Structure 1
Amino acid sequence: MSGAEDEFEDFFLPAEVDYSDVSVDYEHPVRPAREDFFAWHRPRKQYIREKQWSNALLDIMQDRAPEERIKYIGLPGIDLLDIRQFIRQVCAPSSRKIQFIGFDLAAGSDSSGGTELNISLGELNTTELVHQPSNVRPDDLRYIGKRTTNAWQAVRRFGHVDIVNFDLTKTVFDGAADSAISYLAALREVLSLQAGNPNPWVLLLTTKVDRQDMVAEAVEPLLGKFRSLLDECPDLLETVELAGLSAGAGTATDGWDDDSLRVSSLTATVQWMRDLLNEGALSARIRLTSSFIYTSFEGGDSADVASLVMRFDHRPTDLIDTVFASTGVLQPEPSGRDCTPVVRDFKRIAGSADIDLRLTEDPELRAAMLQNAAELMSEARYSREAFEQWANSQPS
């Protein structure tokens, strides 16, 4: 017998113990209700979730069978508040499911935000109305703008979606569309991936429009685009003047007053997206269906945040016959820009509803939004009492 065998011969196993009559009571530790609140918890944001975002989603899904799930990509936050709102307002009434890919750098981290996000995911992923797999990736949303990234690959594999949410706390004009990483680059890639979507879909864009945050390489080409639109569209120039705004001097932001800069840069951004699709192989009808503004209260009392909703409807590819005039085949259209959409966009953005003002002037509406937000926050493990006290201390 070898030495190794001798060693095992001297190794005695412990006697078996019968645990059948032993019970252990374990209680999951109760987490204290949270009391840390931020700008996106205000009643006005609940107004946007209900009146702007959810209504836009209801609009595009109304003719779709309940068995067709909603597909979402965007920035849901660690509490997944917009997903929770869509489940309440859009999914539950028709038993429609939602599937999502979110982006948040807190995902998978051991930070407090990562912990809360994991709990929120656990809560929603056990509900019948969330289609699996649904998750939040530990990625910057801007990584969608590079086709070599895992973020871009994940969105491509996810396929066509119904709602894209760029709910930014900073500006969309943080870099040019051809820069290494920027929100405009991510928007462009989203449009590319969505170009063949046969179903209507919506883009939600929330952005700061404060000149201090705008990067010249991003906004100046768009202001140049707007100035070229003025040359092409006499009706647009007249609309600008009737709105009491100016066309600006040059493309540098310091040549534009605040309101003109906000309206012109956003109008040009919508037109840029329209041209991206309609000058490519596929086309879509793009309509700016809603435009709200509000104040961040970071740089004064002027409105410096915009919340836009754009609806995209796929247009079938038509044959264009340049030789024979055939029934059912399009003939070449005269050259020149159709100025109607850009004039309509400008009017809507210039006339954006001020949500701060709306809630201030309608106390009943404000109270309703506060209570609805309190229910949502309570569901996300916040102290309802502390939230209501905090929300009542906020301007809107």
Structure 2
Amino acid sequence: MTDDELPTEEELDIYQSEPAHTLAPDKLKTDFKAWHHPRKQYVRIEQWCAEVRKLIPALGLSLGDPFKYLTLPGNELLDVRALNGVCDRAGVKLRYLGFNSVGAQTPEAVELALSQSEVRSLSSIDEHSKVLDYRLEAIANRRSPAHEVTMRAGPFHAINLDLCESIAFREIGHRKGSSLEAAGKLLELQLQSAKPWLLFITTKAQPDLIADFARDGFMHALDANSRASEAFKAKLIEMLASKIEELDTDIRSAWTRQDVRFLKLFSAGLGKWMLGILARASPPRGISLLSGCYYQSGTSGPNMLSLAFRCDGAVQVLQDPTAILPAPEEAARATEVEAALALADTAIAMFDLDAHVRQSEVLEKLVDKSGRLLASARFGEDAYRSWAYSLYQS
């Protein structure tokens, strides 16, 4: 990733929210959290906003139509504030369905209510937007109101699973729910979509935070392609810097070590798991990994992934067994092996976001834009600049 690949100043400006609040300096918030980090602004710009901006023209939406977006927005709805600018420029309304379990009459609930009031006043927010006081995992429970609301609201044009924990940690059927099971339920819902759609996943990725069933499933998905395609096996060898005679051993070893090889293998396994599901749908769909990066949260080395996927829609074609009607033309589609090879290529190309953001010019741009975004949520912009730059003082 180079400086030249960053959006221009004009492009960056479309992602910004309304002007900052005119509060007294002592009333502005200064309690900055991990999601206020400058690198998170890179994710908002380069993955979320940029990909939504590219997708909207392909959807055929008319002026004022809703762009439907499922999100885990946090208390400040920073992603919604940023995407408002994208939708405003495209002439569509952002209709979001958020999940944020803050509880009743808590400080978090007060902040969320205030942020929702602010966001609803923005120029391109659809009036039917809402945030549910449920965890994402409630989607997988058919008896939960969250499940019913989600099924009615979807399918979505973009889904943003911005998780603080691992998507693959809890078992299916766990009493607290499973993020992976919720993701599967969303994939099922999205099979109703005839249009392409986006899936953003931010997840913690650590060997001790991946359940056995998930690791085994990801390994099985990768192994199936490796056995079916020598080209895919070569990609795994490249991904792990391995040799053909050592590949099986290196794969088993990679799942146990907190390093970049594990992160790339995790990303490829997660993507291949979803590809396997979508490729077996009727009609089949494809999925591509558009971009991926990793960064460090804690002291154990890089352990967070930010992934952007684009999923194909599919139209159910009419089949006439009597042949009175002409046979429909079948659209060309990549095979599952071809799609898996593309997934592997992008996983191999994943980069260290922390190293990229440390570049002075990149950091300056991100701090400036993030400061402006946070100011719209009642944070002190000057205090933010001091905090953000302090993160990079060694």
Indicate the TM-score class for this superposition, using the shorter chain for normalisation.
0.7 to 0.9
Letter of the 1:204 partner, please give it.
Answer: F
Per the alignment, in what secondary structure is the counterpart of residue 267 of structure 2?
A: helix
1:317 equivalent to 2:312? Answer no
Partner of 2:101: 105
- Tell me which of 10, 27, 31 is aligned to 1:32: 27
Task: Output the CA distance in 2 between the equivalents of 1:255 and 1:172.
Answer: 16
Residue in 2 aligned with 1:299? 299
RMSD of the alignment, in Å?
2.8
1:78-227 residue pairs with structure 2 within 5 A? 78-88=75-85, 90-106=86-102, 109-177=104-172, 179=174, 181-227=177-223
For the structure 1 residues 197 and 122, does the alpha-carbon distance in structure 2 shift closer, same or farther, using more than 3 Å as the test?
Answer: same
Which amino acid is the alignment partner of residue 209 of structure 1? A
1:308-387 matched pairs, under 5 angstroms: 308-318=307-317, 328-329=327-328, 338-361=336-359, 363-387=360-384
CA contact (8 A) 1:224 1:251 kept: no
Superposed CA deviations along residues 28-72 of structure 1, whole A, max 9, x for unmatched, are 999821111111101111011011110110111024333222111
Match of 2:284 in 1: 283
Counting matched residue pairs gives 359
Whether the 8 Å contact between 2:95 and 2:125 is mirrored in structure 1 is yes
Which secondary structure state, in structure 2, belongs to the residue aligned with residue 206 of structure 1?
strand
Which sections of structure 1, spanning at least 5 residues, go unmatched? 1-27
Match of 1:230 in 2: 226
Distance 1:94 1:339 in 2: 35
Deviation string for 1:269-304 (max 9, x for gaps)?
2122122122123432312111121111x133x321
The amino acid that maps onto 1:276 is I
Structure with higher helix content:
2
**Higher relative contact order by CA 8 Å / sep ≥ 6: 1 or 2?**
2
Query: What is the identity percentage for the equivalent residue pairs of Structure 1 and Structure 2?
Result: 23
Q: Give how far 1:120 is off.
A: 0.2
Counterpart contact for 2:72–2:161, Cα < 8 Å: yes
Moved more, 118-127 or 169-178: 169-178
TM-score normalised by L of structure 1 = 0.83
Partner in structure 1 of residue 10 of structure 2? none
Query: Within 1, Cα distance between the matches of 2:390 and 2:308?
Result: 29
Quick one: distance in 1 between partners of 2:328 and 2:121?
A: 51
8 Å Cα contact 2:218-2:272 kept in structure 1: no
Structure 2 CA distance, aligned partners of 1:159 and 1:306? 26
Per-residue deviation, 1:318: 4.5
Deviates more, 1:247-256 or 1:276-285: 247-256
Gap change, CA 1:179 and 1:221, over 3 Å in 2: farther
CA–CA distance in structure 1, aligned partners of residues 171 and 215 of structure 2: 8
Amino acid at match of 2:80: I
TM-score, length basis structure 2: 0.83
For the pair 1:70 / 2:67, whether they are aligned, the reply is: yes
In the alignment, the residues of structure 2 paired with residue 58 and residue 255 of structure 1 have an alpha-carbon distance, to the nearest angstrom, of: 35
Q: Which residue identity is paired with 1:193? A: L
